[in-house]
Structure 1
Amino acid sequence: MLNLSVTKDALDRALALTDALIKALEKEGFSFEIDAEKGATWVKWLETGTKMAFAISEHVKRSVHVVTPAEERARKRYWDRSRWDHAASYPSIPQHDYTPTGTLTIEVGRWPSRKWNDTPRTQLESRLGEVVGGVIVLARDIHAKEQEEARRKEAYRLAVERYEFLTTRHADEVARFEALEADAANWERAAKLRAFADAKERQLRAVGGPSAEQADWLAWARAKADWLDPLVLVSDVILDAPEPKRPGYW
Structure 2
Amino acid sequence: MSAPAEVLHVEVTRGSLERALDLFNALIFEFAKRGSTVEVDAEKKWTVLIIEGTRVELSVTERVRRKEHVDTPEETKAKERYWKLPRYPGREYPGTPRHDYLATGILTITAGRWPSRSWNDTERTPLERRFPEVVSGLILLAAEIHAREEKQAREAEQRRLAKEHYARIMEQRKRERGLFEALETEATKWERAARLRAYVDAVEHAATLEDELTDELVDWIDWARTKADWLDPMIRVSDLILDAPEPEKPALWW
TM-score scaled by length of structure 1: 0.90
Q: Which residue of 2 aligns with 1:187?
A: 190
* Alignment pair present for 1:76 and 2:80: yes
Match 2:147 to one of 144, 150, 156: 144
Q: Which residue of 2 aligns with 1:85?
A: 87
Q: Which residue of 1 aligns with 2:179?
A: 176
Q: C-alpha separation between the residues in 2 aligned to 1:140 and 1:202?
A: 92
* Alignment pair present for 1:116 and 2:119: yes
The structural deviation recorded for 1:90 is 2.6
CA RMSD of aligned residues (A): 1.9
Q: C-alpha separation between the residues in 2 aligned to 1:196 and 1:142?
A: 79
Mapping of residues 100-115 of structure 1, within 5 Å: 100-115=103-118
* Alignment pair present for 1:35 and 2:41: yes
CA distances 1:10-68 after superposition (whole Å, capped 9, x unpaired): 2221111111101112233421101122221111123xx32121111111222112222
* Alignment pair present for 1:6 and 2:12: yes
Q: C-alpha separation between the residues in 2 aligned to 1:237 and 1:207?
A: 33
Q: C-alpha separation between the residues in 2 aligned to 1:220 and 1:209?
A: 18
Question: In structure 2, the residue corresponding to 1:37 is in which secondary structure?
Answer: coil
Q: C-alpha separation between the residues in 1 aligned to 2:212 and 2:35?
A: 103
Match 2:200 to one of 188, 192, 197: 197
Q: Which moved more, 1:86-95 or 1:144-153?
A: 86-95
AA partner of residue 79 (structure 2): R
Question: In structure 2, the residue corresponding to 1:57 is in which secondary structure?
Answer: strand
* Alignment pair present for 1:52 and 2:56: yes
Q: Which residue of 2 aligns with 1:160?
A: 163
AA partner of residue 141 (structure 2): L
Q: C-alpha separation between the residues in 2 aligned to 1:154 and 1:138?
A: 24
Q: How many residues align?
A: 246
Q: Which residue of 2 aligns with 1:127?
A: 130
Q: C-alpha separation between the residues in 2 aligned to 1:188 and 1:121?
A: 96
TM-score scaled by length of structure 2: 0.88
Question: In structure 2, the residue corresponding to 1:147 is in which secondary structure?
Answer: helix
AA partner of residue 105 (structure 1): T
* Alignment pair present for 1:249 and 2:226: no
CA distances 1:171-214 after superposition (whole Å, capped 9, x unpaired): 22222222222222211211121122222223333355644332
Question: In structure 2, the residue corresponding to 1:235 is in which secondary structure?
Answer: coil
AA partner of residue 62 (structure 1): R
AA partner of residue 134 (structure 1): G
AA partner of residue 144 (structure 2): D
CA distances 1:71-126 after superposition (whole Å, capped 9, x unpaired): 22222222222xx4355543232322222122111111011111110111122122
Change over 3 Å in CA distance of 1:94–1:202 after alignment to 2: closer
Structure 1 spans left out of the alignment, 5+ residues: none
Q: C-alpha separation between the residues in 2 aligned to 1:153 and 1:238?
A: 57
